[in-house]
Amino acid sequence: MAKHVCPWWLGYFLASPIRRLAQKPEEVVSPYVRDGMRVLEPGPGMGFFTLPMARMVGSTGRVIAVDIQPKMLATLRRRAEKAGTLERIETRLTQPGTLGIASLAGSVDFVLAWYMVHELPSPETFFREVAAVLKPEATVLFGEPTGHVKQGKFTAELQAAQDAGLAVASRPAIRRTMAAVLRKAEG
């Protein structure tokens, strides 16, 4: 699914504690993630959001991290093991053109699509695959970085989400981010 993929070595910077000065992952996802949930995180990098979400879903929950880069997933697993959350995280290596998540159909409570849709060749395919795995009351938090993605691109991505059957439920204010909460459209 990659058009321009963030290089694996940049993942160390993106997972750095310094990033927490600008954005605390727990604050971003806490309105949406609860104990026992099944969470999907495409493009998790080295786990900046993954590890906190794994703590939040508790011992009965699961975070499924899907990435196209084996080195990102390997480092994520090492960090999760060190943090004591590895048993709550499933990593999946995807292939170009698909997330490879059809086996999750109708079983996901929350999807975090954070700062990665702009890297995909087809936001339309991405949002169709995401919509197919959502439970009826599930939520998607979709965000793009304001300094990297232009408003027009974000608007086109939102349109792709709507074309896939996802409706904008709200537009949360998140520092340095264009964001939308999406849910399956009724009807």
Q: What is the pLDDT of residues 135-168, one digit of tens each?
A: 999 999 999 999 889 999 999 999 999 999 999 9
φ, ψ of residue 161 in degrees (nearest 5):
-65, -45
Domain count, the chain: 1
CA angle 25, 30, 36 (to 5 degrees): 115
User: From the CB of residue 74, how many other CB atoms can be counted at a distance below 10 Å?
Assistant: 15
> Would you say 130 and 164 are in contact if contact means Cβ atoms under 8 Å apart?
yes
Q: Confirm whether 2 is domain-assigned.
A: no
- Residue located via tokens 């927490």: 20
Q: Confirm whether 16 is domain-assigned.
A: yes
Give the Cα separation of 179 and 171 in Å (integer). 6
pTM of the model: 0.89
Residue type, 150: K
CA angle 74, 119, 79 (to 5 degrees): 20
Q: Confirm whether 43 is domain-assigned.
A: yes
The two three-digit tokens of residue 149, written as one number:
């993605």
* Half-sphere exposure of residue 162: CA atoms within 13 angstroms, side-chain side: 10
For the stretch 7-51, pLDDT in tens is 555 554 555 565 555 678 999 999 999 999 999 999 998 898 999
Range of the domain at 24: 8-184
Q: Confirm whether 107 is domain-assigned.
A: yes
Q: Confirm whether 151 is domain-assigned.
A: yes
* Model pLDDT, residue 46: 82
Q: Confirm whether 82 is domain-assigned.
A: yes
> Would you say 14 and 48 are in contact if contact means Cβ atoms under 8 Å apart?
yes
User: From the CB of residue 41, how many other CB atoms can be counted at a distance below 10 Å?
Assistant: 26
The two three-digit tokens of residue 44, written as one number:
């998790």
Residue 95: pLDDT band (50, 70, 90) is confident
The CATH number assigned to the domain holding 167 equals 3.40.50.150
